């Protein structure tokens, strides 16, 4: 059997050129000999490296958000692509060097994933290389981006306490300079408005336990204290629970608390376990990578901007309000 026939079959081009029975003989012989095609030679011929460069700011070196990378790598692997991950520790110069180094290694495509939602222009970094974003937004709309639907998340968190009968609801917002803060607070306000509830307003806070403790202490010390706190993230919610406990209040009997992020190291381990809104980390990574692979396969490309909703994770920190709540508030 000729060398050309063997090459055609083992490189998937035997159909229509080699008789089916001869193709099977070649494959059987390859299996018996333990033959594996030389990926480097194949890639050289098709002018592809079958590698994707994935740059992150801090995801790969912190405990939060790693599912974005895991989802992207798994999706790439399904199509036979290797993912090269570079974490820049949020250093813009390191980020520029990372993109340059990956392009020098002739990756087929590039992906940038952020630890927290923000605008992130990458045109000057990726050049003509196909690129997508995860957990961040391209302000120019030139590259596809997949990010959490934070407004929908804020609505979900608020609905969790509205549906239990709460009307005296306060929102502890995150840091003002963070993109997610305004979007989550907007969801809170929209959900209250749709329910015809005034609530107890939004209260600037921050992202840390100490921030939640400080703001919740002030709110829960008032005679007309809220019966439910919708918090910027799980750390703030932990601070709120600690504040309630210090004031002699029980969660959720006296005050219900909702977090955000579904931090696997905190939310399920809390006492009570924390009701929270999950972030679609894995989905962002998978969908962004899937779109990049489709582009590399030659499918029609539109730089989609996709907001992905996260789920409400119902646990034990939400209950009906205490009897003192005034109907119609």
Q: Please, how many CA atoms are within 13 Å of residue 249, restricted to the half-sphere of its CB?
A: 26
Instruction: Over range 215-242, report the average pLDDT.
Output: 97
The C-alpha atoms of residue 321 and residue 292 are separated, in whole angstroms, by 48
Which is nearest to 168 in space by CA: 200, 206, 214, 193?
A: 200
Query: At which residue do the structure tokens 């990578």 appear?
Result: 289
Of the two residues 144 and 45, the one the predictor is more confident about is: 144
Q: Is the pLDDT of residue 12 over 60?
A: no
CB 57 within 8 A of CB 68: no
pLDDT category of residue 323 using cuts at 50, 70 and 90: confident
Secondary-structure percent of the chain, ordered helix, strand, coil, rounded to 5:
40, 15, 40
Q: Which pLDDT band holds residue 325 (cuts at 50, 70, 90)?
A: very low
Average pLDDT over all residues of the chain: 90
Question: Nearest Cα to 133, choosing from 54, 251, 17?
Answer: 54
Position 300 scores a pLDDT of 85
Position 8 scores a pLDDT of 59
3-state secondary structure of 164: coil
Average pLDDT over residues 108-134: 95
Round to whole Å and give the CA distance between 185 and 171. Answer: 7
Read off the tokens for 124: 């000057």
CATH number for 150-275: choose from 3.40.50.1980, 3.40.980.10, 3.40.50.300, 3.40.50.2300: 3.40.50.2300
Question: Alpha-carbon distance 34 to 167, whole Å?
Answer: 69
Share of the chain above pLDDT 70, in %: 87
Contact 107, 52 (CB under 8 A): yes
Report the Cα–Cα distance between both ends of the chain, in Å, rounded. Answer: 86
In this structure, are residues 318 and 257 in contact, taking their beta carbons and an 8 Å threshold? yes
Would you state the structure tokens that stand for residue 320, as one six-digit string?
Answer: 């009906």
48 confidence band (pLDDT: 50, 70, 90): low
* 56: confidence class by pLDDT, cuts 50, 70, 90: very high
Statement: residue 32 has pLDDT above 80: no
CATH of 48-148+280-310, one of 3.40.50.2300, 2.40.340.10, 3.90.1300.10, 3.30.43.10: 3.40.50.2300
Looking at per-residue pLDDT, the higher value among 180 and 11 belongs to 180
- Cα dihedral angle (194, 180, 148, 66), rounded to 10 degrees? -150
For residues 112 and 324, which has the higher predicted lDDT (pLDDT)?
112
Alpha carbon of 327 to those of 8, 196, 311: distances in Å? 77, 12, 29
Domain map (residue ranges) of the chain: 3-37, 48-148+280-310, 150-275
Mean pLDDT of 77-106: 95
Q: Structure pTM?
A: 0.82
Q: What is the rounded distance in angstroms from the CA atom of residue 119 to the CA atom of residue 215? A: 28
> Quick one: pLDDT at residue 9?
60
316 pLDDT above the threshold of 70: yes
Mean pLDDT computed over 284-308: 93
Fold agreement (48-148+280-310, 150-275): yes
Cis peptide before 263 (omega within 30 of 0): no
Q: Say what the pLDDT of residue 44 is.
A: 45
CA atoms of 49 and 54, how far apart (whole Å): 15
Mean pLDDT value across residues 193-214: 96
CB–CB of 134/165 below 8 Å? Answer: no
The H-or-E segment that residue 145 falls in is strand 144-148
Closest Cα to residue 284, out of 152, 112, 60?
112
């Amino acid at each position: 059997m000729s060398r050309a026939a063997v090459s055609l079959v083992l490189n998937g081009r035997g159909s229509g050129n080699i008789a089916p029975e001869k193709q099977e003989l070649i494959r059987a012989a390859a299996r018996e000999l333990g033959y594996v095609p030389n990926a480097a030679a194949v890639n050289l011929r098709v002018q592809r490296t079958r590698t994707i460069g994935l740059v992150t700011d801090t995801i790969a070196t912190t405990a939060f958000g790693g599912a974005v990378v895991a989802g992207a790598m798994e999706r790439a692997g399904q199509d036979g692509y290797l993912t090269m991950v570079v974490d820049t520790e949020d250093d813009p110069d390191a980020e520029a060097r990372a993109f340059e180094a990956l392009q020098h290694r002739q990756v087929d495509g590039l992906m940038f994933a952020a630890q927290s939602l923000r605008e992130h222009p990458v045109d000057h970094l990726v050049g003509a290389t196909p690129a997508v974003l995860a957990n961040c937004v391209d302000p120019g709309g030139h590259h596809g981006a997949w990010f959490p639907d934070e407004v929908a998340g804020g609505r979900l968190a608020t609905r969790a306490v509205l549906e239990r009968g709460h009307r005296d609801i306060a929102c502890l917002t995150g840091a003002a300079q963070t993109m997610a803060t305004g979007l989550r607070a907007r969801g809170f306000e929209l959900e209250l408005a749709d329910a015809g509830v005034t609530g107890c307003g939004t209260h600037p806070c921050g992202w840390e336990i100490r921030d939640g403790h400080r703001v919740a202490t002030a709110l829960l010390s008032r005679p007309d204290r809220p019966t439910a706190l919708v918090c910027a993230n799980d750390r703030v919610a932990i601070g709120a629970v600690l504040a309630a406990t210090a004031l002699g209040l029980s969660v959720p009997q006296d005050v219900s608390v909702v977090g955000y992020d579904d931090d696997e190291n905190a939310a399920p381990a809390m006492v009570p376990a924390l009701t929270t809104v999950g972030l679609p980390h894995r989905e962002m990574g998978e969908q962004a990578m899937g779109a990049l692979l489709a582009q590399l396969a030659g499918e029609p490309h539109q730089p989609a901007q996709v907001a992905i909703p996260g789920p409400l994770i119902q646990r034990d920190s939400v209950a009906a309000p205490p009897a003192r709540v005034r109907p119609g508030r």
